[in-house]
Copies of this chain bind each other. A is one copy, B any other.
């Protein structure tokens, strides 16, 4: 694999810093440019922000001069990662794509756009092909021959939607899904920095996270190929709660299956035996197995397990089945690292698959 030069938009924020940490030693991608707000532009990265990640910041990155988030400042990169706030991503990302610089984005703005792939490589890699339908420059649809020269936008889902969809996919394929109820107990890191005041969350929980539940309802359906309005979609009833945990969103799931007679062993087998459609691609950020099924009933726990497998696994535990006349009800816990598997790591894995498939040229 040739080396790709990458830029990071929103580099000074919480997601941006996570991108930097994960990319500092990446085998394929080299950080070449950092973009942030006008206020930070022109300063060395180490002057423009306080480094909050747990690992060391390399001098090479620390001394990079931050650039404004405009395409003309990024003509030396092969593509960019976007950790931009949704307040600016809506303008900045299309501008980059129109200028021929593809954007691998963690922002929410274009996730539900019909031509923008919302992808978890282990779930719906074929959706990446939709980038051919994109036309940000207005010069006409990207055809197969020219695709590699035009810029596109690819997104990853919300940090809750990822473990929800990852753990649901094997059940959806094997047994069909009629309805999902989920309580997501979400780590404070999901709110960025400074984020949640300690006065609010210490010894407490907060039963509401603005703008979160609508994403949990919509995004899984798009990824499973049954978007709202398709006629085959199923309802998801989410409650998003903030809890005093540092990293790792934990979801209590109750899934009504299409069919009955499904046992705990069958659910466990479906998850354990699930074969990622990109297992053969040998992507650097892939972990095997993608879903770790715990048999200890006290697991998974975010503090102990979120960091395992480089923070890229989806954990499942406490599988329980109840038989009803309408079908089997499956309850389980799922948990994933919200800022790695659920954000920066998800975007990097998307970029690895795109690189592997030749979408970035070469």
- Chain A interface size, under 10 / 10 to 19 / 20 to 34 / 35 or more: 35 or more
Tell me how far the C-beta of A191 lies from the nearest C-beta in chain B, rounded to whole angstroms: 8
A125 within 8 A of B: no
Within 8 A of B (CB), among A219-254: 235, 237, 239, 241, 243-246, 250, 252, 254
B207, A331: Cβ atoms closer than 8 Å: no
**A330 vs chain B, min Cβ distance (A):** 10
Binary per-residue interface labels of chain A (187-215) against chain B in the complex, 1 for a CB within 8 Å, 0 otherwise: 01100011111111111111110100000
Of A183, A303, A329, most B-chain CB atoms within 10 Å: A183
- The answer on a CB contact under 8 Å between B194 and A199 is yes
A298 to chain B, nearest CB (A): 5
Q: Which residues of B contact A237 (CB under 8 A)?
A: 181, 254, 322, 329, 331
Given contacts A183-B239, A237-B331, A329-B237, contact A199 B205 (CB under 8 A): no
Q: Which residues of chain A (12-64) have a CB below 8 Å from chain B?
A: 52, 54, 56
A345 CB-CB contact with B under 8 Å: no
Q: Indicate whether A185 reaches chain B with its CB closer than 8 angstroms.
A: yes
- Using A54-B307, A239-B333 as known contacts, say yes or no to A298 and B207 having CB atoms under 8 A apart: yes
Instruction: Give Cα distance in the complex from A200 to B245, angstroms.
Output: 12
Residues 323 to 339 of chain A near chain B (Cβ within 8 Å): 324, 329, 331, 333, 335
A204 to B299, CA, bound (A): 11
A254 to B193, CA, bound (A): 32
Among B181, B196, B318, contact of A198 (Cβ-Cβ < 8 Å)? B196
* Contact yes or no, A197 B205, CB < 8 A: no
| A170 at the binding interface (Cβ < 8 Å) | no
* In the complex, chain B residues whose CB is within 8 Å of the CB of A185: 183, 185, 205, 241, 243
Q: Does A302 contact B (CB under 8 A)?
A: yes
A121 adjacent to chain B (CB < 8 Å): no
A311 contacts which chain B residues (CB < 8 A)?
none
Q: How far is the CB of A52 from chain B (nearest CB, A)?
A: 7
What is the bound-complex CA distance between A207 and B333, given in angstroms?
A: 7
Asked if A163 is at the interface (CB within 8 A of a chain B CB), the reply is: no
**A202-B203 CB under 8 A given contacts A54-B307, A208-B297, A208-B318:** yes
Distance between A20 CB and nearest chain B CB, rounded to angstroms: 16
Query: Is A100 part of the binding interface, using a Cβ–Cβ cutoff of 8 Å?
Result: no
CA distance A239 to B303 in the complex (A): 19
Interface centre among A203, A237, A300 (most CB of B within 10 A): A203
Whether A304 contacts B203 in the complex (CB less than 8 A), given A198-B188, A243-B243, comes out as: no
CA distance A304 to B298 in the complex (A): 27
A31 to chain B, nearest CB (A): 22
Question: Whole-angstrom distance between the alpha carbons of A307 and B303 in the complex?
Answer: 15
Cβ of A195: which chain B residues have Cβ within 8 Å of it?
197-199
A317 at the interface (CB under 8 A from B): yes
Do residues B333 and A245 form an inter-chain contact, with CB atoms below 8 A? no
A267 to chain B, nearest CB (A): 15
- Answer whether residue A259 sits at the interface, using C-beta atoms and an 8 A cutoff: no
Cα of A246 to Cα of B210 in the assembled complex, Å: 25
**A–B complex contacts, Cβ < 8 Å, 10 sampled:** A52-B199, A181-B237, A185-B241, A193-B199, A196-B197, A198-B198, A204-B301, A206-B301, A237-B331, A239-B318
The 8 closest A-B pairs by CB, nearest first: A183-B183, A194-B197, A204-B303, A239-B252, A183-B252, A198-B198, A181-B181, A208-B297
